[in-house]
Amino acid sequence: MKYTEFTEKSSFELENLLAFSYGRMIEDPPEGFDARLPAPPFLMVDRILSIEKNGNRGKIVAEQDIRIDAWYFQCHFPGDPVQPGCLCVDAIWQLIGFYCVWRGALGAGRALGCDQVSFNGQVRPHNKVVRYEIEIVRFQGMKNSGTSMVIGNGEVFVDGESIASVQRARAGVFKDITYRDYPFLSENAIGGSGDKA
């Protein structure tokens, strides 16, 4: 699809999200467009049912189908399989990072943290669907630096029951941070704070 179509689209199917993960969804990406979602098995979303903006606010509703043979059920924990709660938090980061790019941010996305995470339930192998509902409380693009940031509050449901909440989850999109020549040693091959003193 064309870039303008991407920024106007209000829902995305799995095929779209997979193409985005591999950098193939947008035929005419603008210069500096380096964004990706994680590829399976770490992609924690199967579809975005709705994505909308309202000024510097917005909303995302997305789902993940639960598979009895998911990789995390095989190791977390043997004899007592449960989806790690941190994967629900990562799904929120994946979605708000995607939102940032959908709003026009250029660069590559990174999770920046969250203020509070609460769990009151769990995802087991025989559950069917996890649903993510995220209120975007702030989106800001900083034109001079090319950096953009988004803050959202998310609630996680499994088969209609609320099991987790994430308050003030933050993600940003930054220019010139990708490591495209992996595994070779180059400027972006080493992690850390990003400060180059």
Q: How far is CA 30 from CA 27, 128, 129, 181, in A?
A: 10, 38, 35, 21
DSSP string covering 78-91: TTS----HHHHHHH
Integer Cα distance of 15 and 62 in angstroms: 14
Active site residue 126: no
Integer Cα distance of 135 and 9 in angstroms: 18
How many other CB atoms sit within 10 Å of the CB of residue 92? 29
Out of 76, 124, 131, 175, pick the active-site residue.
Answer: 76
DSSP 8-class letter at 15: H
Residue 25 DSSP SS3 = coil
Q: How far is CA 52 from CA 11, 46, 63, in A?
A: 9, 18, 16
The residue among 119, 102, 195, 197 whose CA lies nearest residue 161 is 119
Q: What is the largest CA-CA distance in the chain?
A: 53
Residues taking part in catalysis: 76
